[in-house]
Amino acid sequence: MTTGRPPKVILLYRKPWHSRNFSIEISFDQMLASFPAERGWVVEKVVCPFYSKGILSRLRALRAVGRLQADVYHITGDVHFLALALPRRRTVLTVHDCGFLYDRPRLRGWLLRSFWLDWPVRRCRAITAVSEATRQDILRNSSCEPSKVRVIPTVIAEHFRRAAPRPLSERPCVLHVGLAPNKNFLRHVEALAGVPCRLRVVGKLEPMHHEWLRRHQVEYTHGFNLSAAEMQEAYGEADLLLFASTFEGFGMPVLEAQTVGRPVVTSNASSLPEVAGDGACLVDPFDVASIRAGVVQVIEDAAYRAALVQRGFENVKRFRPRTVASQYADLYAEVLGGNGAAAGGESERRERVG
C-alpha cells in the first residue's frame, strides 16, 4: 500500500442489462452510501465497460479492469471472472448464489464452474457469501479454502418502508414474486386452489401460467417491470407474501415484505430460514399440502399473523446498510493488513464508468 495517501477501494460492478434484475447494484449502492466516513478511505464505484457476454467482450473487460489502480478491489457480484485480471492478495469477491451451476450440460457446467467459481475464488484474498447456504454451496463446488469465505448479507433497499397495518381482506391478497423455475409458481398455484384468496403475481406470465391458473381456478392479477414505488405498493396492498422457493442464494423479497410489515410464508430450504429468522412461517417447498397449510394458518390465525409481522420488524435490523457497510469496512482493513484506517479523514465516494 502506498503511503502518504488514504487507501483506495474500488467496487467493481457488472455492466447491467436493461432487462435484468438490479438488486446487486441497489444493495452495493446503499452499502457505499453508508460506508463509515471515519475510515478515511477513498471508496470508488467502477462499472465494467463491457457486457459479460461472449469471449471477446469478456476479454476486453479483463483488459479494462487490469488497468485499474487501487489498494483493494471488490467484485460485487455476477462478473466473477474479473478476478483473473486483478492482484490475488488484494481482491475481494462477493458470490450471491451458485444457481448458475445447476441443470447444465456437462461441458457447459464445467466451464461455468471453472471460470465463474473455482478459478476466481482461488484468485482472491477473501470471498463473501450473502448467506451461509451460499457459503456452503461455494465450498461444495470449488476448491476454495473454508477460511477464505465469510458471510456478509445483502442490504435491504431503503425505498422499502413500513406501511400502515391493514385489516385482513375478505379474500386475502397473496403476493408472489418472480417466475424463474426456483420461484415455485406452479406449486404455489396448486396450493392456493380452493383457498378463498386472490393471487397477485409480480412477473411476466406466459400462456402456460395463465392456463395453470385457470385450471386451478385461482383468482389473480399480475404485473411486471414494476418500479420501486410500485413494488412498495404491491407489498402494502398484500395480506401476505408467499415465497416458498426451492432455491435462493439470499431471498430479498422475504426482507422486503418484513420491512413493509406483511407476514411471510417461505421455504424451509436453502438460505431462506437464515434470512427470514423467526419472522416467517416455514413450509416444505416441494409439498403442496405444506404450502397450503402455511398460507391457511397465516390467514386464519390473527395472533400468529401479528407475531410474524413484529418478529419480521426485528429481523430486518440485521440487514441495514450501515451494519453491512461496517462489516465490509472491517474486511477491507484485513486485506490492507490492518493498516487501512487513516485518522481524521473522511471517506470519499466516487462513481465512474469504465
With beta carbons less than 8 A apart as the criterion, state whether 163 and 232 touch: yes
Confidence of residue 344 (pLDDT cuts 50, 70, 90): very low
Q: What is the DSSP letter of 306?
A: H
How far apart CA 91 and CA 125 sit, in angstroms, is 6
| Rounded mean pLDDT, 325-344 | 76
pLDDT per residue as tens digits for the range 289-313 = 999 999 999 999 999 999 999 999 9
Please name the CATH architecture into which domain 8-155+320-353 falls. Answer: 3-Layer(aba) Sandwich (3.40)
Please name the CATH architecture into which domain 173-317 falls. Answer: 3-Layer(aba) Sandwich (3.40)
pLDDT for 306 equals 97
| Rounded mean pLDDT, 124-132 | 95
Q: How far is CA 240 from CA 2, 72, 118, 296, in A?
A: 53, 42, 39, 11
pLDDT for 111 equals 80
Q: Are strands 42-47 and 8-13 parallel, antiparallel or unpaired?
A: parallel
With beta carbons less than 8 A apart as the criterion, state whether 149 and 170 touch: no
Q: What number of helices (H) and strands (E) belong to the chain?
A: 13, 13
pLDDT per residue as tens digits for the range 226-239 = 988 999 999 999 99
pLDDT for 228 equals 87
What is the overall mean pLDDT for the chain?
Answer: 90
Confidence of residue 21 (pLDDT cuts 50, 70, 90): low
Confidence of residue 331 (pLDDT cuts 50, 70, 90): very high
| Rounded mean pLDDT, 189-199 | 97
Q: Which residue has the cell 436493461?
A: 18
pLDDT for 99 equals 80
| Rounded mean pLDDT, 21-39 | 86
Q: Give the residues across from 93 on adjacent strands.
A: 75, 127
- Topology agreement, domain 8-155+320-353 and domain 173-317: yes
| Rounded mean pLDDT, 151-157 | 91
Q: Which residue has the cell 413450509?
A: 283
Cα angle 173, 176, 177 (rounded to 5 degrees) comes to: 140
Measure the N-to-C terminal CA separation of the chain; round to a whole number of Å.
23
For the chain, give every domain's residue range: 8-155+320-353, 173-317
Over the range 174-189, which residues count as b (16 or more CB within 10 Å of their CB) and which as e? bbbbbbeebbbbebbb
pLDDT of 341 higher than 50: no
pLDDT of 90 higher than 70: yes
How far apart CA 97 and CA 112 sit, in angstroms, is 13
pLDDT for 343 equals 34
pLDDT for 335 equals 94
With beta carbons less than 8 A apart as the criterion, state whether 250 and 134 touch: yes
